[in-house]
Amino acid sequence: MISVNPGSELKEKVTSSIFIGAATISSLLLLAMLLFLLRESWPIWSQVGITGFLGGAVWRPVITPPQVGIMPMLVSTLWVAGGALLIAAPMGFGCAIFLAEFAPVPLAALLRPVLNMLTGIPSVVYGFLGAAVLVKFFEVKFDLGSGESLFAASLILAVMVLPFIVVNSETALRSIAPEYRYAGIALGVSRQYLVLGILLPLARKGMLGALALAFGRAMGETMAVLMLAGNTLKLPVSWFAKGEPLPALIALELGSATPGSTHYQALFAAGLVLVLMVIAINLGINLLLHRLQKGVNSV
């Protein structure tokens, strides 16, 4: 960079330091939170150990001696979030493609605000409607004892993360250079082929990123799963069984756990595990994306 004014180099350094500093400090907030969680849950790690806590299948933290194993909750968390993505991804990608490529302009103009508004509906309303409507619906339609299940929770979560997937995927699709589309048209391929064969691979990075964000959101969502998953301690054996994802566990028991007790510490340990899982997912996606880095839209 050639600078005409000698003083401006210092100014440039200062301003960029401010930006770097702000970005760094803000993101360190995450580390502060992790340290906090670790500190609060330390006795669990030193006494019960990682495998004991993660692999333990019995959660009875208030008896003596307390048994704290969160394996069923881990399974529930992954199942519920994975299930949500399973439902939401095809719909989400389909909708993004629709909006980016095929929707007639007036319809697209209608759908975008609709998406925005869906994002705007808060999780407590989803949880409320899910509990009031969906659970009852399952009970009546399928003649179940009780309508709560991981599937019900996944369904609501899918609706909640759908807008995120759509918006981010659409942005990814739109930011592909128009040359690809021209080339496709010139070669005479159908628009559908253009999208699936050419544009999607190019937008992979953005779309995977969208999925990662959605997965993280689904894993951490509290209110909706609290009301819909059933909160049973048994290991769920199918999507339609009940379970207790980690956020529900924490929200359910934190208020009544005596601070300083093993129960309390175990809940913080569970929180730590949850956050680390999300980070692991993000790391995984990041590594994957670096391998796909050779795309033309690397930003």
Q: Which of residues 39-68 bind another protein (CB under 8 A)?
A: 39-40, 59-63
13 near another protein (CB under 8 A): yes
* Interface region with another protein, contact rule CB under 8 A, candidates 46-54, 143-151, 179-187, 197-205: 143-151
Dig out the tokens for 36 from the structure.
Answer: 């906090």
288 near another protein (CB under 8 A): no
Q: Would you tell me how many other CB atoms lie within 10 Å of the CB of residue 11?
A: 11
Judged by CB under 8 A, the chain residues 217 through 276 that form the site for another protein are 217, 219-223, 226-227, 230-234, 242, 244, 246-247, 250-260, 263-264, 271, 274-275
112 near another protein (CB under 8 A): yes
Q: Say if residues 150 and 241 touch (Cβ distance below 8 Å).
A: yes
Q: Would you tell me how many other CB atoms lie within 10 Å of the CB of residue 72?
A: 21
299 near another protein (CB under 8 A): yes
103 near another protein (CB under 8 A): yes
Judged by CB under 8 A, the chain residues 192 through 211 that form the site for another protein are 192-193, 196
Q: Say if residues 172 and 207 touch (Cβ distance below 8 Å).
A: yes
Query: Which lies closer to another protein via its Cβ, residue 54 or residue 252?
Result: 252
Q: Say if residues 41 and 272 touch (Cβ distance below 8 Å).
A: yes
* Interface region with another protein, contact rule CB under 8 A, candidates 45-53, 97-105, 180-188, 197-205: 97-105
Where are any strands of DSSP class E within the chain?
59-60, 67-68
Dig out the tokens for 269 from the structure.
Answer: 């340990």
Q: What is the distance between the alpha carbons of residues 110 and 103, in angstroms, rounded to a whole number? A: 10
